[in-house]
Amino acid sequence: MPAYKHRMTKLFLRATLFASTIALIQAQTDSRTAEIEAARDRKESQLSPDTPNTWEQRLIYVKDAKVLERLSAGIAGVRLKIGGMPTGSGFAIGPDWFREDWGRGEMVLNAGAQGSTRMWHKEYASVKATGFAKNKLWWEAEALHHDYNSLTYYGPGPDSEKSNRTNYRLEQTTVDTMLGGRPVPMVRLGGSAGYLRVNVGAGQDERFASSEKSFPAVPGFLRQTDFFRTGLFAQLDYRDNPIGTRAGGNYTLRYDYFHDQDLNLHDFRRLDLELQQYIPLYNKRRVIVVRTRAIQSFTRPGQVVPFYQQASLGGGNDLRGFRPYRFHDDNMLAMNAEYRWEVFSGLDMALFFDAGRVSPRRWQFQFSQLETAAGFGLRFNVRNATFMRIDAGFSHEGFQVFVKFNGIFGDRSLHSSLAPHLF
């Protein structure tokens, strides 16, 4: 039999079988009910467990077993902490112990240690007690030691050269305590005290000169001292959501007195004022943010602020077209404006303009002399909280890209004895 005839015969038989089957079904389904029952018959012959696929099963397990929550909570409060060191540390990681269920849930305990790829390290412990005076008072204490072996320094003053990049080692140990009160819901007031031990050494990043060799006359490099600090703070905070603010304001004021314990050279007082205002537009899908931060130092004749306690300007938190810690001096003014708009629920974009300047004299800032930067950024959000941001800033010194795992202009410590750019 020719091949094509063989194929045609097979096709004929199949067609006959197919049509007969349909006819048979049709004969059995002479009502709508029978038709539905026939479909049920077919379904019933193919029943199988309705199980999710492997990927869905894994996601169900992650949620049911609260895997992310367990990782976050750790084992008996011990978990891995990633990040949390100042800019320049490289990738930082270390164990962190956190409990908030002690003292009937009115104590928060935290301790940990971190090391970074650039061999910086930090150890810390803190306790916070709430619940006094009908939850209107709280107390905190913190001890910290760090050794940052290659912090960047470009020299003092607003005219420091970008090419004069050096680095230094800063080892500090602090013990701070504070007592705060909340007389009305949006206001916090309090006082704090602390002790600070400082050791400055040669920078370990061999790509750059060590700072004390380039700037031997800068106070603080050759002789170090300890400080006893006392301070007051006040905060008015009416932001709608502190971790993803779209409306409201946050105004903080700190005033600290640093008393030189050994050299009688570095007594100074510092005023740290920050004003943040969030102006919502279009149901908060657009936000204009304006922020001003001013740090002013006060010294008596014969006293100077050591360089490691001076205000710093530049980097991902204030002047984003400049390198981190680009400018240092006793006084600083930074102004930022951002226009943010929602791209979709998980992403906002921002256009920003930054201006600022450091100065050896108080309130000596002429607008024409301000360093400026402009750029754009991305703000990644989960559940109304910013968990990551990318900012690209442009200035006459080039451009900088910053990837940060926090919201810009976030909350800052009201009681730390460290320099403002290190907490």
Instruction: Give the CA-trace dihedral at 365, 367, 369, 372, to 10 degrees.
Output: 110
In the bound state with another protein, the residue whose beta carbon lies nearer, of 106 and 171, is: 106
Residue 171: which of 296, 308, 289, 292 has the closest Cα? 308
Minimum CB distance to another protein smaller for 105 or for 183? 105
Contact 112, 96 (CB under 8 A): yes
- What are the phi and psi torsion angles at 324 (to 5°)? -60, 140
Q: Are strands 166-181 and 209-210 parallel, antiparallel or unpaired?
A: parallel
Tell me the closest approach of the beta carbon of residue 169 to another protein, in angstroms.
38
In the bound state with another protein, the residue whose beta carbon lies nearer, of 101 and 262, is 101
Amino acid at 395: S
The one-letter amino acid code at 120 reads W
Nearer to another protein, 73 or 232 (CB): 73
Q: How far is the CB of 4 from another protein (least distance, A)?
A: 9
Question: Closest separation between CB of residue 292 and another protein, Å?
Answer: 23
Give 95 or 398: the residue with its C-beta nearer to another protein.
95
Q: For the chain, how far is it from start to end, CA to CA, in angstroms?
A: 91
CB of 200 to another protein, least distance (A): 41
122 or 340: CB nearest another protein: 340
Structure tokens at 159: 């005219």
Q: Which two tokens stand for residue 373?
A: 């930067």
Closest CA to 395 of 357, 350, 360: 357
Using the minimum distance from each CB to another protein, give the nearer residue, 27 or 133.
27
CB of 402 to another protein, least distance (A): 20
Closest CA to 378 of 396, 394, 401: 401
309 vs 305: CA distance, rounded Å: 6
The C-alpha atoms of residue 2 and residue 222 are separated, in whole angstroms, by 104
Q: d(Cα 333, Cα 64) in Å, to the nearest integer?
A: 49
Nearer to another protein, 24 or 222 (CB): 24
* Cβ atoms 144, 124 nearer than 8 A: yes
Residue placing its CB nearer to another protein in the complex, 10 or 213: 10
- At 316, the amino acid letter reads G
**Contacts to another protein by CB under 8 A:** 5, 8, 11-12, 15-16, 19-20, 22-23, 25-26, 29-33, 35-37, 39-40, 42-44, 46-52, 55-56, 59-60, 63-67, 69-70, 72-73, 105, 282-286, 339-347, 349, 351
Q: Which is nearer to another protein, 74 or 191 (CB)?
A: 74
- CA angle (191 as vertex; 185, 193 as ends), nearest 5: 145
Return the structure tokens found at 382: 């989960």
CB of 131 to another protein, least distance (A): 12
CB of 376 to another protein, least distance (A): 9
Alpha-carbon span 418 to 329, nearest angstrom:
15
For 361, which DSSP code? S
Taking the complex as a whole, how short is the minimal distance between the CB of residue 394 and another protein, in angstroms? 16
Report the nearest approach of another protein to the CB of residue 224 (Å): 42
Least spacing, CB of residue 157 vs another protein, in Å: 36
Antiparallel, parallel or unpaired: β 92-102 and 78-82 = antiparallel
Question: Among positive and negative, which fits the CA dihedral 355, 356, 362, 368?
Answer: negative
| β-bridge partners, 264 | none
